[in-house]
Structure 1
Amino acid sequence: MNGQDIHRSSIHAFATWEPLLRLLRAENAERLAVPGGRVVGRITRSAWSVPLRQMYNDDVLRVVDVLVKDGISAVTFVMEMDAMGRTRLHLLIPSRAVELGAGFNPGALVLVEEALPEPWRRLPDPVPGAVPAPSADPALLERTVRERLPGAVGATEAEIAAVESRLSIPLPEELKALYRVTRAQRADWRGDYEAASRHSEAVRCELFELEGLYIAEATTRECPWPYAAMEAVRTHPSSAVQGLAGSPGWIAFADNGGGDRLAIDLTPGPCGHIGQVILISHEEDIGARLLAHSLTDLLLDRPPTESGSAEPQAPAATSFAYDQETLEGAAHPGLEALRLGASGGRPVTLAPLIGLPRLRSLAAEPGTLVDPAEIAALTGLEYLELGSREWSALLDADGVPQGLLAAAVNGPFEEDPLAVAGLANELLALWGRPRITQTVVEGDLGTRALSP
């Protein structure tokens, strides 16, 4: 929904909010009675944070319905009211350039259209000597599954070919052998839960229907910029799986029943095999774990053998520092992402980071920098996260790095969301990106009893 359409939405009608505002007044009367007192909340299409004893109620759902109807992802509101019941409601609606953040403040600001963090742009390294595992045996796999699932309905060659065309990649022979035995369509089980369970036990996973197969590229692994930018791709010479967020050679074909994806890996690590089975965890933002050297091994319950070589310790590509000493210890040519905390430490100078060739992400909590202007010398940054004061200092000094792809304002939970939105809009304006919509809705709740 663009800015013009947002302004036409009934989200800006006082009547949309009035029942909720009356309830907020009744439960937050003391807070609103204080000079400058405000009530702050946020509502999205799937969740909300409002200062009410009973969070789930029809007054909140009325606003949710408007968001869904008008295609608005979220709205942050700031309610002000005088003693006579005259009410000002400030509304903040993020644009497509703004990710949802925690609390009431915006998340990352995507300064370049469709920009992705470096780990999400990383493609697999070539492994010229990679071959299928000796255990890969499509014929044995097919016989085994037929014995376990007598009478199963298999996919036709035309159906398999159609999936290959859709994915623009040939399916490995083992995967085709599996689907020739069972097409894994839920309709074939006619709602029989036990039949579905037997099927999963037979194939050792919750197999997708053919139409459910997809390429697990990095873009399918959604991760907000503030987290993705602080990751790094690590693939050791002894690794079986490349430490990527996703790959054009990862064919996701199943679920493990706990939300993790199983994929056939056609772009293995230096010590892996083409066609190995990997697990992509929903609890991790990057990387995958080897499950079996082949699909045949998975079906026959053969665990993968461990690599014999230990991985030597190397300087961390991502690090955390809380004072000058730990910052200097983290600084090395391979450092890619650094987070500065404030656990009672003194503010630090960024001098040790200047000139580091791979440093691309910096997240500094409020009050951790001696001089925010030093950031201008970190010319390779693509992601920067700072407190409001630090951003204001950079903006005033015209020192915002021009190579940024994304940025974030790291404000405390109690910080004024209107001020944070204004600062975010200054940053978005530097890149000509759509800004957070800020509007004021006014109405009169009257001076009647403070109950809805």
Structure 2
Amino acid sequence: MDDQMLLSSPLRDFVIWEPVLRLLLAADAEGSAGRTRRVEGRISRHTWRLDLPDGLPSAEMRVVEDLRRSFDSCGLGEMLFAAEVQPDGSTTLHLAWASLARTRGFPDLAVLTLVDGVLPEPWRRLPDPVPGAAPAPSADLELLERTLRERLPDAVGATEEEIAATEARLGVTLSDELKVLYRVTRARWDWEDFHEDYEEADRVNTAVGCELSSLEELYSVDAARRHSSWSYGATDAVHCPPDAAVQGLAGSPGWIVFGSNGGDELAVDLTPGPGGHTGQVILVSHETNLGADLIADSLTDFVLDRTKDERCLTGSPPAVARVRAGSLESIQAAAHPALEVLSIDSSDGAPFSLAPLSGLTRLRALTAGPGVLSDPPEIAGLVGLEYLELPVQEWRVILDAAAVPRTLLAAAIKVQRDEDPLSVAALADEILALWDRTQIVQTVLEGNLGPAES
């Protein structure tokens, strides 16, 4: 966190916090005028966790929204706070400021990135080679060109030099069908091609079947752009069955986006799955983080409206397993050489030993609820762990036992509603210190909320 950003933040002003503190005090049904009272919570520009009753009037909830909007102007991340309010109203407000670059928190989860610039494994996955992959039988260059020229007789096409320059920029050889498309129309939105005529642009889009990008706007789907957060990404998995048409990746240098449907990306796939075709058309949804859907076996099929809708599966057992809340009742049932992600959910029953996971080198993510592990330091034996999500007590145990795996790239603390946010911040600092990361900044503000009403 930039020290100047922190020093200049309006959130360092006690007055900014007064309305929310008053709201929390009013919601404290057990409060009394004769004792010291304590309120606490977590808040950021995107989320908040405050002990407030459901159904509060919109005017009162606006107080919370006003505080959240203060985060937008200062660039600060999540904040943990706790206030002690004396009977005369004098208040000590403790703030723990978590850098957005370091911590991504949900209302019940604080996620610490321990290594800069590293994404979860599914987002680092490159396409597998598929020997023998070829264009679909329906790919018909003559039919495609004839159809496009009939629909767009006056379009301005790209030169061979322009196509070669695009290939050099992308670092890939475009499919023959994609070259045909842009030889007919380079779809450049300028005076020379479209004369800034919206109707002409609509004719091109209608002829092709999507909002067509210009040749210069072609790009490959970047996996990093689809990454949402470690808490989602680390617990997902790439899944590509032997007959999959599309590889279940986050992105590929061979997914060349040539247009959109108004919200999702349409791409020609040069790195298909074992059951797919080179040059097939896929849809990369903005609502998913992994995989893409097969729309057409070829660009010819797409332009001629011979489309399909085949969903791509992503994480699937045995790569991802859940014990207790899922269909599995034991860790032994989940222990499989292909296991990558294991979640052990809280429920009644005896705690589990992690011994059955010993030797599973592909296991990279473990999440566990409170009290489900019989011997938390066994975690040290999981040699390939990149992401670990545990409650406060379990973190305390493995920290004291020096059993935190040093292979971790990110760590998450599950926060229970009754836990002190500042204690959670102190625990996070201990974890960050193992990787020599910058500590969470804490500060104290003083103010007065006035005497409590009798």
TM over 0.5: yes
Alignment correspondent of 2:39? 38
Pairing 1:340-351 to 2, within 5 Å after superposition: 340-351=344-355
Q: 1:24 to 1:332 in 2, by over 3 A?
A: same
| Paired position in structure 2 for 1:175 | 178
The CA deviation string for residues 250-269 of structure 1, in whole angstroms up to 9 with x for no partner, is: 11233334x33222111111
Does the aligned pair in 1 maintain the 2:36–2:87 contact within 8 Å? Answer: no
Kept in 2, the 8 Å contact 1:99–1:224? The answer is no
Deviations 1:372-419 (A, max 9, x none): 011111122111111110000000011111111111111224432222
Pick closer, same or farther for the CA change 1:371–1:157 going to 2, 3 Å. Answer: same
Provide the rounded CA distance (Å) in 2 between the counterparts of 1:63 and 1:403: 38
What do residues 80-109 of structure 1 show as CA deviations (whole Å, max 9, x unaligned)? Answer: 322222222232322255342211652x21
SS at match of 2:44: strand
Mapping for residues 102-141 of structure 1, pairs under 5 Å: 102-103=106-107, 105-106=109-110, 108-141=111-144
Is this contact kept in 1: 2:222–2:252, CA < 8 A?
yes
Q: Percent identity?
A: 49
Distance 1:413 1:185 in 2: 54
Shift in Å, 1:445: 3.0
1:287 CA displacement: 1.9
1:406 maps to: 410
- Kindly provide the amino acid, as one letter, of the partner of residue 426 in structure 1: E
Is the alpha carbon distance of 1:163 and 1:17 closer, same or farther for their aligned partners in structure 2, counting shifts above 3 Å? farther
2:38–2:82 CA contact under 8 A, matched in 1 = no
* Equivalent-residue separation in structure 1 for 2:166 and 2:31 (angstroms): 60
Question: What is the DSSP-based 3-state SS (H/G/I as helix, E as strand, rest coil) of the residue aligned with 1:24?
Answer: helix
Q: For each residue in 1:189-241, what CA deviation from the matched residue of structure 2 results, as whole angstroms up to 9, or x when unmatched?
A: 9696x877665443222333455432213212113112211222222222222
After TM superposition, give the deviation of residue 297 of structure 1 in Å: 0.9
Relative to 1, partners in 2 of residues 1:31 and 1:78: Cα closer, same or farther, differing over 3 Å?
farther
**Are 1:88 and 2:95 an aligned pair?**
no
Aligned match for 1:216, one of 218, 221, 236: 221
Instruction: Work out whether 1:338 is the aligned partner of 2:317.
Output: no
Asked if the contact 1:361–1:381 (Cα under 8 Å) also holds between the matched residues in 2, the reply is: yes
Amino acid at match of 1:253: F
In 2, the alpha carbon distance for the partners of 1:110 and 1:3 equals 20
CA contact (8 A) 1:31 1:38 kept: no
What TM-score do the two structures reach when normalised by structure 2?
Answer: 0.84
| TM-score under structure 1 length normalisation | 0.84
The residue number in structure 2 matching 1:302 is 306
Q: Does the aligned pair in 1 maintain the 2:42–2:421 contact within 8 Å?
A: no
State the 1:175 CA deviation: 2.5
Cα gap change, 1:105 to 1:242, in 2 (>3 Å): closer
User: 2:12 maps to what in 1?
Assistant: 12
1:152, 1:318 → 2: CA distance? 50
Q: Single out whichever of 368-377 and 113-122 deviates more from structure 2.
A: 113-122
Q: Is the contact made by 1:40 and 1:79 (CA closer than 8 Å) also made in structure 2?
A: no
- Long gaps (5+) in structure 1: none
Cα deviation for residue 182 of structure 1 reads 5.5
Alignment of 1:147-226 (within 5 A): 147-149=150-152, 160=163, 163-179=166-182, 180-181=184-185, 183=187, 185=189, 200-210=205-215, 212-226=217-231
**How many pairs align?**
439
In the TM superposition, residue 280 of structure 1 has moved relative to its aligned partner by 2.1
Query: Relative to 1, partners in 2 of residues 1:326 and 1:25: Cα closer, same or farther, differing over 3 Å?
Result: closer
Where does residue 321 of structure 1 map in the other structure?
A: 323
Matched residues in 2 for 1:359 and 1:42: separation?
33
- What are structure 2's unaligned runs of at least 5 residues? none
Alignment of structure 1 residues 380-395 onto 2, 5 Å: 380-395=384-399
Please say if residues 47 and 106 of structure 2, whose CA atoms lie closer than 8 Å, have aligned partners that are also in contact: no
Correspondence for 1:255 among 251, 260, 265:
260
State the match for 1:268 in structure 2: 272
- Contact 1:31–1:39, Cα closer than 8 Å, also in 2: no
Paired with 1:55 and 1:103, the residues of 2 have a C-alpha distance of 22
Change (3 A) 1:29 1:361: closer
Paired amino acid for 1:362:
L
The CA RMSD measured in Å over matched residues stands at 3.4
Matches within 5 A, 1:358-377: 358-377=362-381
Q: Which moved more, 1:54-63 or 1:272-281?
A: 54-63
Which residue of 1 is the match for residue 358 of structure 2? Answer: 354
The answer to whether the 8 Å contact 2:21/2:39 transfers is no
1:145 aligned partner: 148
Q: Secondary structure at the residue paired with 1:100?
A: strand
Contact 2:377 2:398 in 1 (8 A): yes
Range with greater deviation from structure 2 (439-448 or 325-334): 439-448
Q: What is the distance in 2 between the residues matched to 1:100 and 1:124?
A: 28
DSSP-derived class of the 2:397 partner = helix
Asked if structure 2 preserves the Cα contact closer than 8 Å seen for 1:135 and 1:293, the reply is yes
User: CA–CA distance in 2 between the matches of 1:204 and 1:181?
Assistant: 14
Single out whichever of 338-347 and 368-377 deviates more from structure 2: 338-347
